Amino acid sequence: MSPALPPDFEWGFSTAAYQVEGAVAVDGRGKSIWDTFCHLEPSRTKGANGDVACDHYHRYEEDFELLTRYGAKTYWFSMCWSRIVPLGGRDDPVNEAGIDFYNRLIDALVRRGITPWVTLYHWDLPQALHDRYGGWLDVEESQKDFERYARVCFERFGDRVQDWITLNEPWIQSIFGYATGGNAPGRSSTNKQCTEGNSATEPWIVGKAQIMSHTRAVIAYNQDFRGKQKGRIRISLNGDFYEPWDGADDRDHAAAERTMEFHIGWFANPIFLKQDYPSCMREQLDDRLPAFTDADFAMLRAAETDFYGMNYYTSQFARHRDSPASETDYVGNLDELQQDKGGTPVGEESGLGWLRSCPGMFRKHLTRVYRLYGKPIYITENGCPCPGEDKMTRDEAIDDPFRIRYFDSHLDAICKSIQEDGAEIRGYFAWALLDNLEWSDGYGPRFGVTFTDYNTLERTPKKSALLLKNMFAERQGIKVAAS
């Protein structure tokens, strides 16, 4: 294979604080909305919680030895806002014990020659802010508190951290947290388990709050930190790729494009294009979609980001609906399907019903995003659980041919998007370093390249973890010494 990735292509593994850290009541950490959500009765998370998780808080040295063994040169992780500012607000005290923990963690990476990438927010809003003013439901207050938290992180860690991500997957926080209620804080007017929320209005308010919070953090970094620290800042957006259910029906073509606007354009148009939300969203949602003021647009124009962070797992087919959209619709008035009109599946089944392996559509997704938004792309999450892996023993799970095929085919898609479509793609992070708490799915799905025994917390590398280095080396034209 001729080299398709540049020698400086960055790759590594990723995790998120609540999913791996544990130690939720240790060293002054405050509660987050996920701490509360995971302890609701009846359970919304299949009885699981992050109280211990993978105990990464105490075992990070062991986990970073795995990174070294796997050949990773980068590691992407999130910081817990309430571990750093337990009450979350701009006038609330900083927790020095939390600062010390992340300093030790960062230093341990640097010592090994592994570049730290930091996400400021991966869904774990301080519970105190949710109690104080509704958290993300207050657009003005939340963005000011997020800016202060971001500034603390830039000040304390920016001498060693040059790669920042403001928010991870704001669509998930907005929709699953405030429309379906399946994630923290569990607000919804359509979910019978939820006692509070308005699915017709709240997700759109939360979306704007996150856009403006990202914007404030970027402006703060660019104005006060970038010159000295020489770092980079971005946001990571999730989104599937959609193709028409009926390739001969223009209405399905329009539906496919429309739902990608609802998933990606919602955030990417204001952040990258400095424009209003996509017109299809305005047409369907009308005044339920909060307007940007002139002052907001001035801030958006001032908040220049370096790259596009992309989280991608799967693709789907879109079939239009003839009936008007319901007030609580959030995908663009269509059906999301895994088979097309002729019954052809979108891809090979994984260990989760919603996730199928669709590398060809991943290539189209990469190319589409690059052409629309014109920013170099970093794939900040990509991975899968193997079929039946949640029922496997350790010895069965560490042999993971499906995951190996998934990684291999998706790396090929990246190469084709670069070589044949002209996309600029700079890096890739496999989700995830460890099997961990998969949010409302509990400890069932195993996305990790490392098997975690949740009883003993013992880690065991899977075959995929040991092969990724070779996959990248082959595509970069780098010779790997025989092991």
Asked whether residue 385 is domain-assigned, the answer is yes
Instruction: Flag the least confident range among 1-5, 51-55, 98-102, 220-224.
Output: 1-5
Q: What percent of the chain has pLDDT over 70?
A: 99
Task: Yes or no: say if 434 and 18 are a contact pair by the CB < 8 Å rule.
Answer: no
The reply to whether 453 falls in a domain is yes
Number of continuous H segments (helices) and E segments (strands) in the chain:
18, 15
**pTM score over 0.85:** yes
Q: Which of helix, strand or coil describes residue 315? A: strand
What residues contact residue 137 under an 8 Å CB cut-off, 6+ apart? 178, 202, 205, 206, 209
The whole-number pLDDT of residue 163 equals 98
**Is residue 286 domain-resident?**
yes
**pLDDT digit string, tens, across residues 285-331:** 999 999 999 999 999 999 999 999 999 999 999 999 999 999 999 99
Helix H or strand E encompassing 411: helix 401-419
> Exposed (0-12), middle (13-18) or buried (19+): which is 478, by Cβ within 10 Å?
middle
**Does residue 79 lie in a domain region?**
yes
Contact 402/352 with Cβ under 8 angstroms? Answer: no
pLDDT in tens, 220-246: 999 999 999 999 999 999 999 999 999
Question: 461 has which bridge partners?
Answer: 450
Give me the pLDDT at residue 479, please: 84
Taking phi first (over 0 means left), then psi (-120 to 50 degrees means alpha), and beta for anything else, what does residue 403 get?
A: alpha
Flag whether 5 is in a domain. no
Asked whether 448 and 52 are in contact (CB, 8 A), the reply is no
Q: What is the mean pLDDT of residues 109-117?
A: 98
Q: Report residue 457 as tokens.
A: 């917390």
- Give the pairing of strands 163-168 and 232-238: parallel
Scan for tokens 């955030």, then name that residue.
267
pLDDT at 2: 61
Whether 263 maps to a domain, the answer reads yes
Q: For residue 142, what are the CA distances in angstroms to 134, 235, 295, 323, 437?
A: 9, 17, 17, 37, 27
CATH of the domain at 36: 3.20.20.80
User: Is 115 part of any domain?
Assistant: yes
CB 483 within 8 A of CB 16: no
Quick check: 36 pLDDT over 80?
yes
Rounded CA separation 199/221 (Å): 34
Peptide bond into 432 cis (omega under 30): yes
**CA 369/CA 347 separation, integer angstroms:** 21
Domain count, the chain: 1
How far is residue 180's CA from residue 190's CA, in Å, rounded to a whole number?
7
Residue-wise pLDDT tens digits, 176-194: 999 999 999 999 999 999 9
Q: How far is CA 201 from CA 2, 147, 231, 282, in A?
A: 51, 25, 36, 13
Q: Is 455 exposed, middle or buried (0-12, 13-18, 19+ CB in 10 A)?
A: exposed
List pLDDT tens digits, range 22-33.
999 999 999 999
- Work out the pLDDT band at 482, boundaries 50, 70, 90: low
Residue of 253, 273, 252 lying closest to 372 (CA atoms): 273
Question: Nearest 5°: phi and psi at 51?
Answer: -55, -40
Average pLDDT, the chain: 97
Q: At what angle do helices 139-157 and 202-224 cross, to 10 degrees?
A: 40
- Measured CA to CA, the distance from residue 1 to residue 5 in angstroms comes to 11
The alpha carbon of 151 is separated from its chain's Cα centroid by a whole number of angstroms, namely 21
What average pLDDT does the segment 95-122 reach?
98
Mean pLDDT of 135-160: 99
Residues that are catalytic: 169, 381
The mean pLDDT value for 446-459 works out to: 98
Query: Residue 3's pLDDT is what?
Result: 75
Residue 483 has pLDDT above 70, yes or no: no
Residue 480 pLDDT grade (very low, low, confident, very high; cuts 50, 70, 90): confident
Domain with 232 in it: 10-476
DSSP H stretches of helix in 244-323: 250-260, 266-273, 279-285, 294-302
Strand, coil or helix: 426? strand
Q: Quick check: is 392 in a domain?
A: yes
Residue whose entry in the numeric block shows the structure tokens 């987050």: 32
Given this model, what pLDDT does residue 381 score?
Answer: 98
- Residue pLDDT, tens place only, 345-376: 999 999 999 999 999 999 999 999 999 999 99
User: Per-residue pLDDT for 1 more than 70?
Assistant: no
